[in-house]
Amino acid sequence: MPETTIIVTETHGLHARPAALFVQTAARFTSSVQVKNLDRPAGRTVDAKSMLGVTALGVSQGQRILISAEGDDAASALAALQHLVESDFALGPEDVTPPRPATPERADVPAMPQPAAPTTTTTTPAMPDPAAAPDIPPLKGVGAAPGIAVGPTFCLRTRIAPPEFHTVADPDAELERFRQVREQARDELRALHDRVVQTAGTEEAAIFAAHLAFLNDPTLEVDIATFCTEQKFNLEAAVIAVLDQHSATLHQRHDPIFQARVADLQDLKQRLLRLLLDPEGQAFALPEQPCVVLAQELLPSEAAMLDHAHVLAFCTADGGPTSHVAILARGMGLPAVVGVGPAILEVPDGTPAIVDGKSGKVILHPSETLVAMARKRAQSEQEQRAQQRAVAQQMTMTRDNRRIEVVANVGSLAEVNQALTEGAEGVGLLRTEFLFVDRATAPDEEEQLAQYRACAALLAERPLIIRTLDIGSDKPVRYLKTATEQNPALGMRGIRLLNIAPELLRTQLRAIWRIDAGHTIKVMFPMVSSIDEIRTLRQLVAEVATELRQEGQTIADRLDIGIMVETPAIALLAEQALTLVDFLSIGTNDLTQYTLAADRTNAAVNYLNDAFHPAVLRLIAQTARAAHDAGKWVGVCGELAGDPLAQVLLVGLGITELSMSSALIPAAKVIIRRASLADAQAIARQALERDTPQNVRNFLAQQIASAGG
């Protein structure tokens, strides 16, 4: 049987994300693949396609694993897994600090401009050590996310009654219940993934991809079926017994990275029990005012469901700084202290508290002096952020006065308001899916109109680009009956839904046309791949306008029409497309996956999805040239727009609008203002000569380093 031994050099070993990548890579092959941890005494061999099995191996950095395979594609499976492990699970460059070269690679290439430091500074007063005051003993935990918060406590407690355990006559019926509840859990996890991508970031959202890997593990279904069949107990008992057993296996590992994965399994257990016992969704009493949220160990799904406006900080009895909740808190910009101990759960709701996410201290019933000091520090930190945002409120021009619009990608009315606070000059992408998901029926015209009008009112005369519904693929909705697809990324999604649900798009266009005059409204269509599709869409837009006028409705005088450049086909046809549309917006996330033939929702091939790939950059450059020649504008609304390494490059390629997550806007504006168009164009020319994504990145990093970055 072919086999190979590899040393795992990834910092955290085979924890959740690398384990998920390992499992998904193994699952691509038909051969039977096994893996063993050679550095654990009496270590067992497990199925490499089992998330539960691979995680339970407890592989830490520096340990050796033995991978064996048997079958027709065994050699290919071993090669793929070896490449994955030896590349540190295809960690992106954001996880690695590039070496700083002594000099630029080319003397004729201008240095990449760097963000300027704020012109004013604020001294942050130090918090006195509360331990020095004997009448105010602090609770001590581990600082998991920096910042300081002052406010009343609120303990998050479940309302679900303990499950009842009883014997059953039909174990097969219990297994069918499991399959049904598993499907509901999958839908929830996919929705949570998309929501957290928008509110905290892609890395934070990977939590829920790992949860899906646990849920989809065939071992889980086998174990539950075995328990129900042999023990003759109901599904609730099986869920608890099986997931607690796997949790106990992980808990025995001394490495805190793997002990932290216990929270993932417990989160999954609680999700399944909640769906079984609380179908109406009344599991938790949620805070209704700003507070410090206390919990035993706040599960990622629980953290994600909280209203951020009502959370000042997180404080948990258990958990560690590597837990997923710590990652989420940092992504949300909220202080967090973990591992405080059970005493925190005895604190009555409404107790005044100070949470210091840097020192890991929690002070209950603080004195007026400490409260004043904490508030002064919090105010100081707030002022520093405000200074950065104040600079961001100015229009964005390059050093030689080339106008570049820096706008926001948003997915809700609340996010529009946040984008303006961060200095957005408009909305370059309103994801309208927030109106359509997590509900039993589609929103009607009036509901959509009210939401679009509210967004437009906040923006006043700033542009609002509304992307029409982009569901399907990894964003399904319950009321739209679409067939199961083997490759949904290439299937019925975006404007292709016209073929099965034309009324959805027609209703949405009616609402968009009816937005009050005086606003700069544009409509943008996703997943376009042919000129015929553009003609059909233009005709539909005109038909809806005529229909509304005949009904006596007041509508806008005109509506700019744009398309997203997400497929190589439309990038190559940009010149022809621009005769039919007013603007283009390049969705680099999808353009990258379709150019490189690598599904971006498949962790096993995620290492291929790099928007710095020369092929992707050349498609962007070609699209920008076509727009320039046509006298029309082109933007980028994918993740590349928010990458500090890419922003000057994109300007140099001819992009005139960058749309990104709101939190990234202030830094982006500083970077662009320090660049000149001539410098940016020279950098772009040199970048396009590179032949690999890493060479492009290295080149851009050299420009940053040579400028003193």
Is residue 229 domain-resident?
Answer: yes
Task: Supply the DSSP string of 17-62, one letter for each residue.
Answer: HHHHHHHHHHHTSSSEEEEEETTSTTPPEEETT-HHHHHHT-PPTT
Eight-state DSSP code of residue 523? E
Average pLDDT across the chain, whole number: 83
Q: How far is CA 142 from CA 66, 262, 338, 355, in A?
A: 36, 18, 5, 11
Please give the Cα distance from 640 to 647 (Å, whole number): 8
Give residues with Cβ within 8 angstroms of 248, minimum separation 6: none
Please give the Cα distance from 524 to 545 (Å, whole number): 16
pLDDT in tens, 262-317: 777 887 888 888 888 876 655 566 788 899 999 887 766 666 667 778 899 999 88
How many Cβ atoms from other residues are within 10 Å of residue 54's Cβ?
25
Whether residue 439 is found in the same domain as residue 415 = yes
Catalytic residues: 324, 637
Please give the Cα distance from 521 to 201 (Å, whole number): 27
User: What was the pLDDT predicted at 330?
Assistant: 63
Whether residue 289 is found in the same domain as residue 273 = no
Is residue 166 domain-resident?
Answer: no
- With contact defined as beta carbons under 8 Å apart, do 649 and 660 qualify? no
Say which range, 296-300, 404-408, 425-429, 620-624, has the weakest mean pLDDT: 296-300
For residues 233 and 542, the model is more confident at 542
Is residue 484 domain-resident?
Answer: yes
pLDDT in tens, 106-138: 334 344 444 333 333 333 444 444 433 444 578
Q: Which amino acid is at 521?
A: I
- Statement: residue 95 has pLDDT above 60: no
User: What was the pLDDT predicted at 193?
Assistant: 73
Say which range, 73-87, 354-368, 613-627, has the weakest mean pLDDT: 73-87
User: What was the pLDDT predicted at 404?
Assistant: 97
Kind plus residue range of the DSSP H or E element containing 153? strand 148-155
State which of 53-67, 177-191, 453-467 shows the largest mean pLDDT. 453-467
Whether residue 688 is found in the same domain as residue 670 = yes
Token pair in block for residue 423? 């200095």
Whether residue 423 is found in the same domain as residue 366 = no
pLDDT in tens, 455-509: 999 999 999 999 999 876 445 566 776 666 777 778 888 899 888 889 999 999 9
Looking at 248, 277, 306, the residue that finishes a domain is 277
Say which range, 88-102, 338-352, 525-539, has the weakest mean pLDDT: 88-102
- Statement: residue 568 has pLDDT above 80: yes
Token pair in block for residue 100? 């700083």
Is residue 163 domain-resident?
Answer: no
User: What was the pLDDT predicted at 613?
Assistant: 96
* CATH number for position 336: 3.50.30.10
Domain count, the chain: 4
Whether residue 640 is found in the same domain as residue 561 = yes
Which segments within 447-504 are labelled E, that is strand?
A: 463-467
Q: What are the beta bridge partners of residue 34?
A: 47, 68
Whether residue 361 is found in the same domain as residue 321 = yes
CA-based nearest residue to 632, from 685, 579, 588, 569: 579
Whether residue 264 is found in the same domain as residue 289 = no
CA-based nearest residue to 509, from 459, 467, 476, 477: 467
**Domain of residue 22, residue span:** 3-95
What is the rounded average pLDDT of the residues 435-464? 91
Token pair in block for residue 244? 């607690």
User: What was the pLDDT predicted at 59?
Assistant: 84
Q: Which amino acid is at 22?
A: F
- Statement: residue 101 has pLDDT above 90: no
- Statement: residue 325 has pLDDT above 80: no
User: What was the pLDDT predicted at 20?
Assistant: 76
For residues 345 and 15, the model is more confident at 345
Is residue 116 domain-resident?
Answer: no
For residues 169 and 584, the model is more confident at 584
Is residue 117 domain-resident?
Answer: no
CA-based nearest residue to 524, from 495, 554, 500: 495
Whether residue 258 is found in the same domain as residue 304 = no
User: What was the pLDDT predicted at 283?
Assistant: 55
What is the rounded average pLDDT of the residues 197-201? 59
Q: How confident is the model at residue 105 (pLDDT cuts 50, 70, 90)?
A: very low
Give residues with Cβ within 8 angstroms of 358, minimum separation 6: 143, 146, 147, 148
Whether residue 365 is found in the same domain as residue 475 = no
Whether residue 150 is found in the same domain as residue 211 = no
Say which range, 16-30, 474-488, 546-560, has the weakest mean pLDDT: 474-488
User: What was the pLDDT predicted at 478?
Assistant: 65
Whether residue 179 is found in the same domain as residue 210 = yes
Say which range, 24-33, 129-138, 416-425, has the weakest mean pLDDT: 129-138
Looking at 385, 418, 438, the residue that finishes a domain is 385
Looking at 330, 352, 385, the residue that finishes a domain is 385
Q: What are the beta bridge partners of residue 291?
A: 311
Alpha carbon dihedral 76, 82, 88, 91, in 10-degree steps, equals 0
Is residue 112 domain-resident?
Answer: no
What is the rounded average pLDDT of the residues 379-384? 80
Q: How far is CA 113 from CA 97, 133, 699, 703, 708, in A?
A: 18, 48, 14, 8, 9
User: What was the pLDDT predicted at 136?
Assistant: 52
Is residue 145 domain-resident?
Answer: yes
Q: How far is CA 528 from CA 66, 428, 571, 573, in A?
A: 46, 18, 10, 11
Token pair in block for residue 566? 């997400």
- Statement: residue 92 has pLDDT above 50: no
* CATH number for position 456: 3.20.20.60
User: What was the pLDDT predicted at 280?
Assistant: 60
Say which range, 114-118, 364-368, 586-590, 656-660, has the weakest mean pLDDT: 114-118
Whether residue 328 is found in the same domain as residue 208 = no
The answer to whether the pTM exceeds 0.75 is no
